[in-house]
Amino acid sequence: MWQGLIHKYAEFLPINERTPKLTLHEGNTPLLPIPAISQDLGIEGYVKFEGANPTGSFKDRGMVMAMAKAIEEGSEAVICASTGNTSAAAAAFAARAGIRCIVVIPDGKIAEGKLAQAVMYGAEIFAIKGNFDDALRMVRKIAETEPVTLVNSVNPYRIEGQKTAAFEVVDALGSAPDILSIPVGNAGNITAYWKGFKEYHERFQSGLPKMMGFEASGSAAIVRNQVIEDPETLATAIRIGNPASWDKALQARDESKGLIDEVTDEEIVEAYQLLAQKEGIFAEPASCASLAGMIKKVKDGSIPQGSKVVHVLTGNGLKDPNTAIETSPVKPARIENDYEVFASA
């Protein structure tokens, strides 16, 4: 039976006999081929569906590690800033571990499904009149003086947990793909994947992919090489204007001879709908920046035909039902007997 990441990849993780074997059975997520889209793009495409994690995003990987180490070190409370998924995962694993969870979120800019999770798992939630970057500054300051453990991806244990996704990709394919395409917000995940691929390659000579990261155009700090003061994108999970792991993202890009580019909200929505309607895979908007970016790079001719590409789909589409309905082409067709008939436009 799958016993979670700390058990499965123990030899690669900073654990010892005192580290609690915390798990909600995170990890071991599907690596699904996407045959229809691959045919259109002329690639051998896959998606790493991280929406299948216990709280519906890749954050569970990092959070189980950060929470287990916090418990080991005697912590009684954790704190994080979040655009939603970090807080959902922190709240779930804190509940599992029996400690307090304090989250600071940008008021009104968090997808409903994520807020529902933080509420239900019992987090103490503070919504601020500001954005994620303001919230992160706030919680980093609090964690300097108060007896709480910061569990944002500046916490190295988060990166340790999240690198296991790269291990799973190589375990599933037998070697590293040519390209790993991934959305970029705070840039912890691109950092983690690259660390994982390098560690596996050192041990098993499994190869190294080109890392291709994609920011939303309205919050493309790394692409524009400047902090975006008021980031704006429909993909609220990556509505981050000052990535905390900016330098490490550049290192992953340069060491892997990859790239970091941007995609517009329109390109994200197109990929979002394509995945659902052509492959039966529902991932939240930010996740689809990985596919939107690949479509863009195929169009500009920079992806060799037949490239083996893994797209990281970082969160489940159910997290953000409002965006699905607001962007859907399916509208009420007519009213019959007091109910609406919905049909494709």
Ligand X SMILES: Cc1ncc(COP(=O)(O)O)c(/C=C/C(=O)C(=O)O)c1O
Give the interface with ligand X as residue ranges (CB under 6 A): 57, 82-86, 153, 183-189, 237-238, 284, 286-287, 314-315
Nearest to ligand X of 122, 306 (CB atom):
122
Nearest to ligand X of 44, 261 (CB atom):
261
Which residues share a beta bridge with 48? 31, 312
Q: Is the dihedral of CA 276, 3, 252, 173 positive or negative?
A: negative
Nearest to ligand X of 32, 268 (CB atom):
268
Classify each residue of 285-300 as buried b or exposed e, where b means 16 or more C-beta atoms within 10 Å of its C-beta: bbbbbbbbbbbbbbee
Q: How far is the CB of 228 from ligand X (least distance, A)?
A: 14
Nearest to ligand X of 44, 101 (CB atom):
101
Q: Is 307 left (phi over 0), alpha (psi -120 to 50) or beta?
A: beta
Please give the Cα distance from 27 to 24 (Å, whole number).
Answer: 9
Q: How many residues does the structure list for the chain?
A: 345
Please give the Cα distance from 327 to 317 (Å, whole number).
Answer: 13
Q: How far is the CB of 109 from ligand X (least distance, A)?
A: 11
Nearest to ligand X of 4, 231 (CB atom):
231
Q: How far is the CB of 315 from ligand X (least distance, A)?
A: 3
User: Which among 289, 232, 231 is positioned nearest to 261, based on CA atoms?
Assistant: 289
Q: How far is the CB of 86 from ligand X (least distance, A)?
A: 4
Q: How far is the CB of 16 from ligand X (least distance, A)?
A: 26
